[in-house]
Amino acid sequence: MAGRTLGNRSRTIATLAVGVVVGGVVAGGGYALADTKAPRTDRQITNMTNEVSDIKAYYGDTVDAQGEHWASPTSNYANQVAGIEKDAKKYLDNRARHDKGKKKKAIVLDVDDTSLSTYNYELETTFVYNPAGNAQYIATKTMPAVFGMNTLAQWAEQQGYTVFFVTGRPEAQRSYTAANLAAVGFPTADASHLYLKNKENPPAYLPCGATCTTIEYKSGTRAHIESLGYEIVANFGDQYSDLSGGHAGKTYKIPNPMYYLP
């Protein structure tokens, strides 16, 4: 993996052109983009304060009485996601009605910022990911659904699709993840429908074992789902690493300008 691993994932603010030290943590992009040419002048770099302002405006930043930040359902982010969901629904509807094949049909969803919104967490941490703090957040808080993804997943299930979740969250976060998905209206994320990254006891179907990159882990897990007799008709993710590596059907990229994961 090109980036420095911070717990179960590496990350950086997506728009940074070079690695920087933020709050004592070296952002992973500094490694991933190590061969990127250094900006010749500061004018080639988006000012980070302005970038954060843009992100908040895009998500329709709303502050509640407790001072918590949330995305707005009328934001440009919500509108953009709704457009992607509309396209996906049309495609899935068409496939469900006109292509009654022999195989069981499925869709695959990533969790963070595809099914569940981490916007509140990102604002709480000023976009600096920390594995321990993230685990604590996941154990104690309920993330809202990414606007409309819960109803899309429920609808797909009613059309006969089996809904699988494939996440880079560690196996230790299984119960919190399943409970959060259920609490905000997703189809059942029981043991046979929710795949988490298990570095301690990697499954035999992943030859890369404990050292899988995200693309290897996710595409290998999708290949395993196919081996169970499913056709993956559509795959939804907010990172390109959620969508690469094949075994994905039609891919839908959910917007996420907050961070980049290789």
For Mg ion, the closer of residues 115 and 162 by Cβ is 115
For Mg ion, the closer of residues 95 and 127 by Cβ is 127
For Mg ion, the closer of residues 52 and 149 by Cβ is 149
* Separation between Cα atoms, residue 11 and residue 17, nearest integer Å: 13
Q: How far is the CB of 108 from Mg ion (least distance, A)?
A: 12
Would you tell me which residues interact with Mg ion (CB under 5 A)? 110, 112-113, 238
For Mg ion, the closer of residues 122 and 238 by Cβ is 238
How many CA atoms does the CB half-sphere of 100 hold within 13 Å? 3
Residue whose pair of structure tokens reads 């457009």 in the numeric block: 83
* Separation between Cα atoms, residue 75 and residue 57, nearest integer Å: 8
Among all residues, whose Cβ is closest to Mg ion? 112
Q: How far is the CB of 111 from Mg ion (least distance, A)?
A: 6
Q: How far is the CB of 17 from Mg ion (least distance, A)?
A: 22
How far is CA 93 from each of CA 98, 187, 233, rounded to the nearest angstrom? 9, 18, 11
Q: How far is the CB of 167 from Mg ion (least distance, A)?
A: 7
For Mg ion, the closer of residues 85 and 112 by Cβ is 112
How far is CA 31 from each of CA 19, 35, 171, 240, 252, rounded to the nearest angstrom? 7, 8, 26, 18, 27
**156: alpha, beta or left? (left if phi > 0; alpha if psi -120 to 50):** alpha
* Stretch (H or E) spanning 226: helix 214-227
Q: How far is the CB of 178 from Mg ion (least distance, A)?
A: 16
